[in-house]
Amino acid sequence: MSPADYGFWFLVSLTEITGVVCAIRHHALRRYLAFVIYLCVAFSLDAARYVISQTSGIESPQYYYFYYYSDTLLTIMLFFVLINLYARVFDDMGVGKYLRGGALLLLAGTACISYYMVNASSERLFTHFALEISQNLFFVGVLLTYLLWGAMVKMHENRSRVTQLVLSLGVYFSACAANFAVLNLHPQLAISKYILQITALWLPASWAYTFTKVPEEGRMATARVLAPNR
C-alpha cells in the first residue's frame, strides 16, 4: 500500500466513525438505524480489508475478491438504507410493505441479470462478475434514488434532513455507477481507484454533516432546491 492508500484508508475509517458518533450525539440512532448499521459494517469491512492487504498483499486475488464482494455487500446494505428513506417519504400512504417487497425483488433480479450477462460470454473470467454486479447494482441504485427524488418533488416533501440524505445517496450511487462502468470499459484505468476512495469518503462525510447541521424538524421546499431563484 502506498502512503496515499494509507491516508485514504485512515480518512475513510475516521469519517465513518465520525458519522456514527454524529448520529448518536444528535439523537438520530433510532430513527436512522439503517444508516448507522451501514457505517458500522463499512468500518468493519475497511478494517478487514486492511488486514487482508497486510497479510496477502494489495495485488493478491484474495484482496481482489474480498474487496469487490464486500463492496457488493455494502451496496446491498445501501439498498436497505434507500428502503428506509422510501418508507420515510411514503410513511403517510402506508405502502411500506409493498416498497420493501418491490425493492428486494429488484435486487434479486439485478443479481440474476448480472450473473446471466457474465455467464453468457464464456471468454470472460468469473471474477468479472464482481465488476458487472457492482456496476449494475449501483445503476439500479441511481434509478431508485432518482425515482424517490422525483416522488419527493411531486409530493412537495419538505423535510430538509431527508432531502439532503436522499441527494447525498444519489451523488454516491451515480458516481460509483459511472466509475464502475468506466472501469468495466477500461479495467486498467488508474484514476478509478482514487475516484472510488473519494466516493467512499463522500457518503459518511455528507451524512455526518447532515446529522450535525440539519435538524430533524428543519423544513425546506424541494422546489427551492430545483429552482433556487424562484
Any contact of residue 134 with other proteins (CB under 8 A)?
A: no
Any contact of residue 18 with other proteins (CB under 8 A)?
A: no
Any contact of residue 229 with other proteins (CB under 8 A)?
A: yes
Q: Which of 38, 68, 138, 211 binds other proteins (CB under 8 A)?
A: 138
**Rounded CA gap, 67 and 115, in Å?**
18
Q: Closer to other proteins at the Cβ: 66 or 138? A: 138
Q: How far, in Å, are 77, 83, 203, 225 from residue 38 at the CA level?
A: 6, 13, 11, 27
Cβ density class 58-72: b for 16+ within 10 Å, e for less: eeeeebeebbbebbb
Any contact of residue 170 with other proteins (CB under 8 A)?
A: yes
Q: Count CB-CB contacts under 10 A for residue 3.
A: 7
Q: Which range touches other proteins (CB under 8 A), out of 6-14, 62-70, 80-88, 165-173?
A: 165-173
Q: Which of 171, 195, 198, 201 binds other proteins (CB under 8 A)?
A: 171
Any contact of residue 184 with other proteins (CB under 8 A)?
A: yes
**Rounded CA gap, 134 and 77, in Å?**
13
> Could you give the angle at the alpha carbon of 46 between the alpha carbons of 43 and 50, nearest 5°?
140
The residues of the shown chain that bind other proteins, judged by CB under 8 A, are 117, 135-136, 138-139, 142, 145-146, 149, 160, 163-164, 167-168, 170-171, 173-175, 177-178, 181-182, 184-185, 206, 209, 213, 220, 224-226, 228-229
